[in-house]
Amino acid sequence: MSEVEHVQPGHLLSEREATLRTRALESLLLEKGVLADGAVDAVAGIYENDVGPLIGARVIAHAWVDPAFKARLLADGGRAVKELGITGIEGDHLVVLENTRDVHNVVVCTLCSCYPWALLGLPPRWYKSYAYRSRVVIEPRTVLRELGLDVPESVEIRVWDSSSDMRYMVLPERPARTEALGEAELAELVTREAMIGIATVST
């Protein structure tokens, strides 16, 4: 899916301005010796790909192996994640949505890019794009297919709109034939994309 498809000019302009200001600030900090070259990208990469997604993956894996925890997670996500030592304002407003054979959940924020950073790390660029935010609520099956996930017609797709008051995370289906895997091994299978709902978990 193109990130510029159906994007309003005003939205693009504000993003462009933000990008230019960020680059200018980074250049100034590099010039003054406050930052080392590549430091910002390195830190952003850690939060985008490692720290955040690993925390969310640990929650998912624990839910897969502990039915009582799973029930608490689905009933009150914010309270349940605190049991695992995950705290912060985002956890207080967390709702966890379970994918099943009959229902597939996908998360979006149509107004901006509200997102459970503490659990999933930095939001991917496509999640913040106007194209994703505007289209997934109207044609979710098509958008998911464009992103590489073909949801059968027999499966209901539910789109959940995050806000500053409510953040959503998807509890993906546990893959088949993973009974012998431990919790840590299961966590390694879980991706950020699966916890947003644009992918499934596979072995």
pLDDT digits (tens, 9 = 90+) for 113-155: 688 888 888 888 899 899 999 999 999 999 999 999 999 999 9
Q: Is 2 part of a structural domain of the chain?
A: no
pLDDT band at 89 (very low <50, low <70, confident <90, very high): low
Q: Is 42 part of a structural domain of the chain?
A: yes
Rounded to whole angstroms, how far apart are CA atoms 166 and 164?
Answer: 6
Sign of the CA dihedral running 26, 30, 32, 34: positive
Is 154 an active-site residue? Answer: no
Is 112 an active-site residue? Answer: yes
Catalytic-role residue among 2, 27, 112, 164 = 112
Q: What is the pLDDT of the chain when averaged over all its residues?
A: 86
The pLDDT of residue 15 is 59
3-class secondary structure, 78: helix
pLDDT band at 61 (very low <50, low <70, confident <90, very high): very high
Task: Name the domain count of the chain.
Answer: 2
pTM of the model: 0.78
Q: Is 4 part of a structural domain of the chain?
A: no
Catalytic-role residue among 109, 129, 134, 162 = 109
Q: Is 153 part of a structural domain of the chain?
A: yes
Is 113 an active-site residue? Answer: yes
In percent, the amount of the chain with pLDDT more than 90 equals 58
Q: Which residue range(s) make up the domain with 25?
A: 12-47
Mean pLDDT of 81-107: 89
The pLDDT of residue 106 is 98
